[in-house]
Amino acid sequence: MKMGILYGMVARGQVVLAEFSATQTNASTVARQILEKMSQGKNDSNSSFSHDRYIFHVKRTDGLTVLCMADDASGRRIPFAFLEEIHQKFVKTYGRAIQSASGYAMNEEFSRVMSQQMEHFSTDPNADRLNRLKGEMSQVRSVMIDNIEKVLERGDRLELLVEKASTMQGNSLRFKQQSRRYKNAMWWSNCKITVTLILLLSLIIAYILFAFVF
């Protein structure tokens, strides 16, 4: 037997406006008993009732009751997410007509909607909003981690470029210092040669003068 959400109903008070069953069970009979039991209260509520291996989940809002039967493994979150979706679609589709509609007035059209939504919430993992949100958060976290890793890798590359730039700057500074020392050495060497030439020239002149006098 197919598992998940197996039966759905929408009612105003005890007047059933639409229902759909995915399998042959006595769910419709049990659902009417639940409607009769809940008709004594008027407050909005969310309730669950166990019956054999199944759980009947009921959402009552502003006089409109939405009910479903699901297997026990479905828990509560998915069935109530289904009920919330059905309630919103039903109110949006029929509006004020809900208040005066006769029994099963919307059944032909809306039973198909319930069938589609029962299939969706029973088989699609994204139908569970909390799990879908967790999945989206997980994807966001994965993207963030991926982006951070890329930034870190880029940071490593930037760091390496900075190190290379620092090395080039250091080499340039050493080259300038060596060039300055070389220029100083050349200047002193030129000074020495110049002084030596001057002294040698002075000696030659002095020798010529001395020879001419004597």
At 3-46, the pLDDT tens digits run 799 999 999 999 999 999 999 889 999 999 999 988 777 788 89
CA distance 183 to 171: 18
CATH code, domain carrying 97: 3.30.450.50
CA distance 18 to 112: 10
CA distance 56 to 49: 5
Q: Which residue has the higher pLDDT, 104 or 147?
A: 104
| Same structural domain, 98 and 24 | yes
Instruction: Please tell me the total count of domains within the chain.
Output: 2
| Same structural domain, 132 and 204 | no
Mean pLDDT across the stretch 103-130? 89
**Residue 158, pLDDT above cutoff 60:** no
| Same structural domain, 144 and 194 | no
| Same structural domain, 86 and 61 | yes
**Residue 71, pLDDT above cutoff 70:** yes
| Same structural domain, 196 and 102 | no
| Same structural domain, 97 and 198 | no
| Same structural domain, 129 and 197 | no
| Same structural domain, 25 and 111 | yes
CA distance 59 to 214: 141
Mean pLDDT across the stretch 156-161? 57
Of the ranges 29-33, 172-176, 188-192, 206-210, which one carries the lowest mean pLDDT score? 172-176
| Same structural domain, 47 and 104 | yes
pLDDT of residue 214: 60
pLDDT of residue 112: 96
Mean pLDDT across the stretch 161-173? 62
| Same structural domain, 103 and 157 | yes
Q: What is the pTM of this model?
A: 0.61
**Residue 172, pLDDT above cutoff 80:** no
Half-sphere exposure (CA, 13 Å, Cβ side) for 173? Answer: 6
Q: Which residue has the higher pLDDT, 187 or 107?
A: 107
CA distance 13 to 8: 15
pLDDT of residue 41: 72
| Same structural domain, 133 and 186 | no
Average pLDDT, the chain: 82
Domain boundary at 149, 168, 187, which? 168
